[in-house]
Chain A
């Protein structure tokens, strides 16, 4: 699935869409009452009490349940599909396959995935072969069991490290390269290495990480005549609508997508899936609403992952810590279809540290496995795993402190971004203030003194980072209405994917309108009733939507002040809002309650339409980060206990400290999983099938695996240039350096570099034993 091509994750290099400018240039806030505070979610009660209706909660009268039959082989040609036994079963209303009459026409359906809906050649385990709808989920599954499929099993390759071997079975005609390797170069690499006093080279690998949102992928589909309504668990209702309309040959206006609540996506729900199209088709042929949600196992097989990456990094530095050369060569795989296996994989090498001589080469390969989808900071945690361990090693090699070394190499401009300056570069502050708040120097020294138990060692490590997107940008349209009783409603197309978007937007509106954020009625994520928005992803939702919210709120406020000015016969410029009243800020004291504004009562409401203005044209907007951690390692068992973590983040202005902290803690947790517990396991060289099929064998971290002691240090350099709320993204930067920081801490504790994720007791105890033997 070509998530990175079809679903625009951020607008890098894209000409900005024509968007009206706000009526006035809003000055940055100087003092805030609401913004920046700790606020619980405006929908917390609904979420914890169970009254929030997620797509998987939707039950409609007469609704059927859909289920998908998936290919059980790594690579197979579908010779025939016999659905005759399944169609007659009690309660079964429809069975679809590419071979079944009268559904042969379905073979022509080319979805957003650029593959056929029912692919005659299944290139990975879990490809869609048939689908059924029945009056219970159990009968739908029984129908699948009754379908007879004749497969011709084909040779396969299930690991990208085998994909280019001579004789490796081609996943597609033409071989296993998705395209030519991507090369980036600047400066003179050879000279850079000549100038270096120290040159190090190392190979790194990161394993495939799976998306594990609490709510699996799926939807409920219902037709009324030729209009289709979808309740979809998605990060973006508009991309889903566009893709479904395209796949089904419909006008976008005939498709309505709702996604008010959704149970997590992490990048894997930026658009529609085959399941969406199948639900719509099953609903069409049965003339009933159809609910189709995937099982956990199906989500592991078919709807995304963070690609595994194999990276070789060679780096040179001078004695004084100046980086002189970086050479990065990597292969990765997005699975069986073009899916951005190497997306942004070299970004940090190109950009994070000042280095004049850089060359990167990344090759994306096909294997017979489920396709990648965007996953929380695509490419970045992988690259960080290599770069941040290498920088740590370079610092040691030249005898410098790792924080000092990084501070020596902080760039002022975006080196791969045409040399344009950043609006703010918080990297140095993240490093400096983070180290200070963590007690870096003391903790390092204390760790080196050892512990009372000679088989237990302490280590302290850190890593820096930045995120390729996170500045947000147009388009975004937000409408705020204020009614005659003073009540406020906020209308936006964006999804709240669990990050607290609704809460943050309510706080921004409340800041301007002097109302309680919890009182603001929010309508969002519904293509029929809310305005166009891009998917919530790329850590761009807050910096994209919040300036539009602020602009809309200011327009509402201006109208109220003007109404009051006419009513009080004073200049509007002398008035301001205070807790439901318009009051004079200079001259004789005058005031009127908003609900007493005659014009407002006559009109019934005022409305402000806010647009997201363009980003600064000649600058780059990025979030920066430095994370620090302390670990304890048992040398006899290889067990690592992470004792504490601190994240210092430049994500611009903090709009809600609670949701900000939640994002950082969640990002660290996911990074700990990436670095310490998680890996997709395929049966390499045997069946190619998924072995880590559930949460027993695919280990996401538990509460016991993450430290209770997690903290944040917001670094807010005041990014007035980025946008009118000064906010940048936080969700993705929070997970980028985490795994590398753990690896560096483990090295500090043990002297052993673990260059392959995850750092399990198995891997570490073997490495420690190898060192003892002198291997």
Chain B
């Protein structure tokens, strides 16, 4: 049963920011993740501050240079259905469509998907784990079949978002509004790895709200895709996944590569080794195979998640071959 809290429906972004500065305040957008966290007693809450009614934060806008600005409150279903998103950034549409269920995509927002809490069963369960301010990560000696093979450092969660790896691969930035005004944070710098602080997922400070996600113009030759593999064909998080954003010239040579994994690390995991292998090359069978190999060469699987190594390699090879 949910703990007691007060509820504020913010009439403006400034009002929301003001309320969110208080200790124990939690933001409510779509609420699909918040409700689960409250039911599972993942964190304390005194005040729920709802931004759900802030119309300016909803919808997709295009500006003159072709930049696409997606309001943080835009439902995932609307992101997936947007014609510009589908045409220019198919990876983002695929990722938004891969989230949860139709109900969750209608209710859940893009900003919420990027900022959601991890699904680790120790974090969500009755365990005082390090991410909740406790002493230890229970996944190390417990059942870690869903946990990280990269970047685990005192906490082995995987980042649950499907859209964040895509936004990262596409070079998107988050517009963050807060008590100190507005700042832009590149998605690559938005997430906090556990080696820096295992108790937080993002760089957001008290009172800060993601208001918008900004996609740079696609430019020439952008090919993108997102693919995740899950234990059940709907309503499930990634066991492993890969977001690809490749700029390919007319002769088929990869000029620029964005490769970011989901489901395998505490943050969306940019794979520099794969990007290096791809850049300047054509997507031949050999290159694809090499990319699969380097994708997992620094993986450090735990006792129960060794399958993620062949799985991630398989997905990388399959998706690169599909983009070739």
The answer to the question of A539 belonging to the interface, with a C-beta cut-off of 8 Å to chain B, is no
The answer to the question of A760 belonging to the interface, with a C-beta cut-off of 8 Å to chain B, is yes
When C-beta atoms are compared, the residue in chain B nearest to A701 turns out to be B232
Instruction: Tell me the complex Cα distance, A442–B314, Å.
Output: 31
Q: Which residues of the other chain, A, contact B122 by a CB distance below 8 angstroms? A: 691
With known contacts A137-B1, A681-B143, A637–B119 Cβ distance under 8 A: no
* Chain A, range 104-141, C-beta contacts under 8 Å to B: 137-138, 141
The answer to the question of A686 belonging to the interface, with a C-beta cut-off of 8 Å to chain B, is yes
As a 0/1 sequence over residues 230 to 246 of chain B, the CB contacts with chain A under 8 angstroms (1 = contact) are 11111111010000000
The answer to the question of B270 belonging to the interface, with a C-beta cut-off of 8 Å to chain A, is no
Q: Which residues of the other chain, B, contact A687 by a CB distance below 8 angstroms? A: 127, 138, 142
Write the nearest CB–CB distance from B120 to chain A, whole angstroms: 10
With known contacts A689-B126, A761-B239, A768-B310, A455–B318 Cβ distance under 8 A: yes
Q: Which residues of the other chain, B, contact A762 by a CB distance below 8 angstroms? A: 145, 231, 239, 307-308, 311
Q: In the complex, which of the residues A142, A455, A766 has the most CB atoms of chain B within 10 Å of its own CB atom?
A: A766
The answer to the question of A529 belonging to the interface, with a C-beta cut-off of 8 Å to chain B, is no
As a 0/1 sequence over residues 659 to 697 of chain A, the CB contacts with chain B under 8 angstroms (1 = contact) are 000000000000000000100010111110111110111
Q: In the complex, which of the residues A141, A690, A703, A765 has the most CB atoms of chain B within 10 Å of its own CB atom?
A: A765
Instruction: Tell me the complex Cα distance, A142–B2, Å.
Output: 9
When C-beta atoms are compared, the residue in chain B nearest to A636 turns out to be B314
Instruction: Tell me the complex Cα distance, A696–B235, Å.
Output: 8
The answer to the question of A72 belonging to the interface, with a C-beta cut-off of 8 Å to chain B, is yes
As a 0/1 sequence over residues 32 to 47 of chain B, the CB contacts with chain A under 8 angstroms (1 = contact) are 0000100010000000
* Chain A, range 604-647, C-beta contacts under 8 Å to B: 634-639, 641
Write the nearest CB–CB distance from A227 to chain B, whole angstroms: 32
Q: List 6 A-B contacts (CB under 8 A).
A: A634-B318, A641-B233, A681-B121, A696-B236, A699-B232, A699-B236
Q: Which residues of the other chain, B, contact A168 by a CB distance below 8 angstroms? A: none
Contact of A637 with B1 in the complex, beta carbons under 8 Å: no
Instruction: Tell me the complex Cα distance, A701–B230, Å.
Output: 12
Contact of B121 with A693 in the complex, beta carbons under 8 Å: yes
The answer to the question of A704 belonging to the interface, with a C-beta cut-off of 8 Å to chain B, is yes
Additional A-B contacts beyond A639-B229, A691-B122, A769-B307 (18; CB < 8 A): A138-B1, A138-B2, A637-B314, A677-B231, A681-B143, A684-B143, A685-B141, A689-B127, A690-B125, A693-B125, A696-B237, A699-B232, A702-B234, A761-B229, A761-B231, A762-B307, A762-B311, A768-B310
Q: Which residues of the other chain, A, contact B233 by a CB distance below 8 angstroms? A: 641, 702, 704-705
The answer to the question of A420 belonging to the interface, with a C-beta cut-off of 8 Å to chain B, is no
Q: Which residues of the other chain, A, contact B307 by a CB distance below 8 angstroms? A: 638, 762-763, 765-766, 769
Q: Which residues of the other chain, B, contact A692 by a CB distance below 8 angstroms? A: 121
Instruction: Tell me the complex Cα distance, A72–B128, Å.
Output: 13
With known contacts A685-B141, A686-B138, A704-B233, A637–B311 Cβ distance under 8 A: yes
With known contacts A455-B318, A705-B233, A693–B311 Cβ distance under 8 A: no
Write the nearest CB–CB distance from B101 to chain A, whole angstroms: 8
Contact of A686 with B141 in the complex, beta carbons under 8 Å: yes
Instruction: Tell me the complex Cα distance, A623–B134, Å.
Output: 55
As a 0/1 sequence over residues 219 to 232 of chain B, the CB contacts with chain A under 8 angstroms (1 = contact) are 00000000001111
Q: Which residues of the other chain, A, contact B309 by a CB distance below 8 angstroms? A: 769
As a 0/1 sequence over residues 350 to 375 of chain A, the CB contacts with chain B under 8 angstroms (1 = contact) are 00000000000000000000000000
Contact of A691 with B141 in the complex, beta carbons under 8 Å: no
Q: Which residues of the other chain, B, contact A141 by a CB distance below 8 angstroms? A: 1
Write the nearest CB–CB distance from A751 to chain B, whole angstroms: 16
The answer to the question of B60 belonging to the interface, with a C-beta cut-off of 8 Å to chain A, is no
The answer to the question of B271 belonging to the interface, with a C-beta cut-off of 8 Å to chain A, is no
Instruction: Tell me the complex Cα distance, A704–B234, Å.
Output: 6
Instruction: Tell me the complex Cα distance, A703–B233, Å.
Output: 9
> Given B142, B229, B310, B317, which contacts A686 in the complex, CB threshold below 8 Å?
B142
Instruction: Tell me the complex Cα distance, A370–B308, Å.
Output: 31
Considering the complex of A and B, which 8 residue pairs feature the smallest CB-CB distances, nearest first?
A636-B314, A141-B1, A769-B310, A704-B233, A766-B307, A704-B234, A762-B307, A691-B121
Write the nearest CB–CB distance from A300 to chain B, whole angstroms: 12
The answer to the question of B202 belonging to the interface, with a C-beta cut-off of 8 Å to chain A, is no
Instruction: Tell me the complex Cα distance, A701–B235, Å.
Output: 10
Q: Which residues of the other chain, A, contact B239 by a CB distance below 8 angstroms? A: 761-762
As a 0/1 sequence over residues 303 to 324 of chain B, the CB contacts with chain A under 8 angstroms (1 = contact) are 0001111110011011000000
When C-beta atoms are compared, the residue in chain B nearest to A767 turns out to be B307
Q: Which residues of the other chain, A, contact B19 by a CB distance below 8 angstroms? A: none
Instruction: Tell me the complex Cα distance, A637–B124, Å.
Output: 27
Q: Which residues of the other chain, B, contact A763 by a CB distance below 8 angstroms? A: 307
Instruction: Tell me the complex Cα distance, A635–B317, Å.
Output: 12
Q: Which residues of the other chain, B, contact A641 by a CB distance below 8 angstroms? A: 233
Instruction: Tell me the complex Cα distance, A701–B145, Å.
Output: 19
Q: Which residues of the other chain, A, contact B235 by a CB distance below 8 angstroms? A: 695-696, 702
With known contacts A636-B317, A687-B142, A72–B126 Cβ distance under 8 A: yes
Q: Which residues of the other chain, B, contact A677 by a CB distance below 8 angstroms? A: 231-232
With known contacts A637-B229, A638-B311, A766-B307, A705–B234 Cβ distance under 8 A: yes
Q: Which residues of the other chain, A, contact B40 by a CB distance below 8 angstroms? A: 693
Q: Which residues of the other chain, A, contact B237 by a CB distance below 8 angstroms? A: 696
With known contacts A639-B229, A761-B229, A691–B125 Cβ distance under 8 A: yes
Instruction: Tell me the complex Cα distance, A641–B310, Å.
Output: 19
Instruction: Tell me the complex Cα distance, A686–B125, Å.
Output: 14
Instruction: Tell me the complex Cα distance, A683–B310, Å.
Output: 25
Instruction: Tell me the complex Cα distance, A702–B233, Å.
Output: 7
Q: In the complex, which of the residues A67, A72, A697 has the most CB atoms of chain B within 10 Å of its own CB atom?
A: A697
Q: Which residues of the other chain, B, contact A681 by a CB distance below 8 angstroms? A: 121, 143
When C-beta atoms are compared, the residue in chain A nearest to B124 turns out to be A693
Q: In the complex, which of the residues B2, B232, B234, B317 has the most CB atoms of chain A within 10 Å of its own CB atom?
A: B232
Instruction: Tell me the complex Cα distance, A466–B139, Å.
Output: 42
Write the nearest CB–CB distance from A557 to chain B, whole angstroms: 51
Write the nearest CB–CB distance from A332 to chain B, whole angstroms: 21
Q: Which residues of the other chain, A, contact B1 by a CB distance below 8 angstroms? A: 67, 137-138, 141-142
Instruction: Tell me the complex Cα distance, A653–B44, Å.
Output: 59
Write the nearest CB–CB distance from B316 to chain A, whole angstroms: 9
Write the nearest CB–CB distance from A80 to chain B, whole angstroms: 21
* Chain B, range 134-175, C-beta contacts under 8 Å to A: 138, 141-143, 145
Contact of A765 with B314 in the complex, beta carbons under 8 Å: yes
> Given A686, A696, A699, which contacts B119 in the complex, CB threshold below 8 Å?
A696
Instruction: Tell me the complex Cα distance, A718–B289, Å.
Output: 60
Instruction: Tell me the complex Cα distance, A635–B142, Å.
Output: 29
